[in-house]
Structure 1
Amino acid sequence: MTSIFQRALGSDFDRLHPQLRRRFGFGSEDGIACVGTGVMERVWHGRGFTRPFLWLGAQRHILLPSRGSDVPFTIQNYPYRDSLGRETVTFVRTFVFDRPQRWDATMIYSPERGCVVDYLGTHQHVSVDLHMSVVDGALVIRSGEQRFHEGPLHFRIPSWVTGAAEVRESYDEKVGRFRIDVEVSNRRFGPLFGYSGTFTCTFPSVEGVPEEIRPVREQARV
């Protein structure tokens, strides 16, 4: 079946490195997942005043308040149909510092918005438009408009209080590993946090998605 990333990229999907096409080219009807395991050479955050915000977000698995080097890392990408019938892929990232810390997201493709929409955290309080492109075989993702959802509240978050993310994922043939570089910054306050490192992937056969990595709540609004 056509994955959400194929829908977002269109014909540009074929310009991805073959390993990235494999990693991002499956859906819920294919009966497989992608599980990555590796090490983040660096996990960092910005100036001291950013840490309370990172800690607050971490309570719902949205942000990372810790930093370190050579941090063990896993990423779990499971495709499934959510309760609204939408093709969905989990992005559950676990970083092992003194204790494991998770950064959760679930992604759908939104025809209305014409892009992948990323729901952040366990309760999908925040949705983010993701704009994707292919550069030298690598997948480059830049975040766009962000929206907050809680009960009857639903509004666009002003850009001056949000973090703009840029992600570059590539495949390094010399070492046979995927490379990931993530930076989140604010136009007023500068760099907020990020990480970079490498990992390998397996593609296990699955039926559904483990309950422990599903979001607690699913948000209908995009």
Structure 2
Amino acid sequence: MILNMFSNATDERVLRRASVYERALGASFDALDPMLRVYFGSIPLGAVGRGEGTFEEAGFTGPTLLRPVIRLFANRRVLFPERERDVPFRIENRVDGSGALRADRVFAFSRRSRRMSDAMTPGPRGTIVDRLGRRGGLEVRLRAHVDAGGMQLDSIGLAARVRGLRIPLPAVARVIVRERVDDRSPGRQRVDVRVSVALLGEVFAYAGSFVYRIEPSGGTPTTGVRTPL
């Protein structure tokens, strides 16, 4: 019994150190390309994951009548109405005190910069719960799987968070995220994100490549750094 208790306690400590992606994928995590394991793996305490790159395309792709709604989401750091090509991009990933993975993305459009923020936590049955925006008011539940060494995330549920209440929403929108090593530049990774709405089709997208590294908050790179070739 004592041995079992020790084993369970050890398993729990390992689980707490694992990233949300490692928890969702389990043994499949090792099938990711080594570069992507840096991005989707755990971030040590006192460290931050930083990425910089360019998106060949980024922004709103839906019908004009939907643009005012997207502007409301922009104020909440979820989506934005701009649409441009060759957009400089930055991302910072951190783990907060609760263990949530928080990401802050900056899209440097020609006239202004836009931000997207989210916080990821483990969900039931190997899923990931992603709460979008400054206050996490929109919740997307994601299923992760490895495809030919790359990562794919598919949305499987939506909910709204209002004053502490979780309100399930109909599955009118779908999010697909694909990440892989850039075939044209192996020191970089590519991301492709698509958001579609029932009856309207795709309404938002961004795709491009970036370099990612793990470094202390002070800025000196640590083990696992990836630099351009």
Q: CA deviation at 1:152?
A: 5.6
2:178 equivalent among 168, 172, 175: 168
- The 1-side partners of 2:48 and 2:179 are apart by 18
Aligned residues of 1:140 and 1:167 also touching (Cα < 8 A): yes
Matched residue, 1:134 = 146
Counterpart contact for 1:28–1:80, Cα < 8 Å: no
- Listed as ranges, the gaps of 5+ residues in structure 1 are 208-222
Q: Which has the larger radius of gyration?
A: 2
Letter in 2 for 1:107: M
* Residue 99 (1) aligns with residue 112 (2): yes
Please say if 1:159 is aligned against 2:167.
Answer: no
| Bigger RCO (CA 8 Å, 6+ sep) | 1
Q: CA deviation at 1:7?
A: 0.5
Identity level (%): 34
SS at match of 1:26: coil
1:32 deviates by 2.4
RMSD: 1.6
How many angstroms apart in 1 are the aligned matches of 2:195 and 2:96?
28
1:56-135 residue pairs with structure 2 within 5 A? Answer: 56-82=72-98, 87-97=99-109, 98-110=111-123, 112=124, 114-135=126-147
Matching of residue 51 in structure 1 with residue 80 in structure 2 = no
Pick one of 26, 42, 53 that aligns with 1:38. 53
**1:184 positional shift:** 0.3
TM-score (norm 2): 0.82
Identify, as 1 or 2, the structure richer in helix. 2
Partner of 1:8: 24
Residue 3 of structure 2 corresponds to: none
Determine if the alignment matches structure 1 residue 199 to structure 2 residue 214: no
Distance 2:80 2:210 in 1: 19
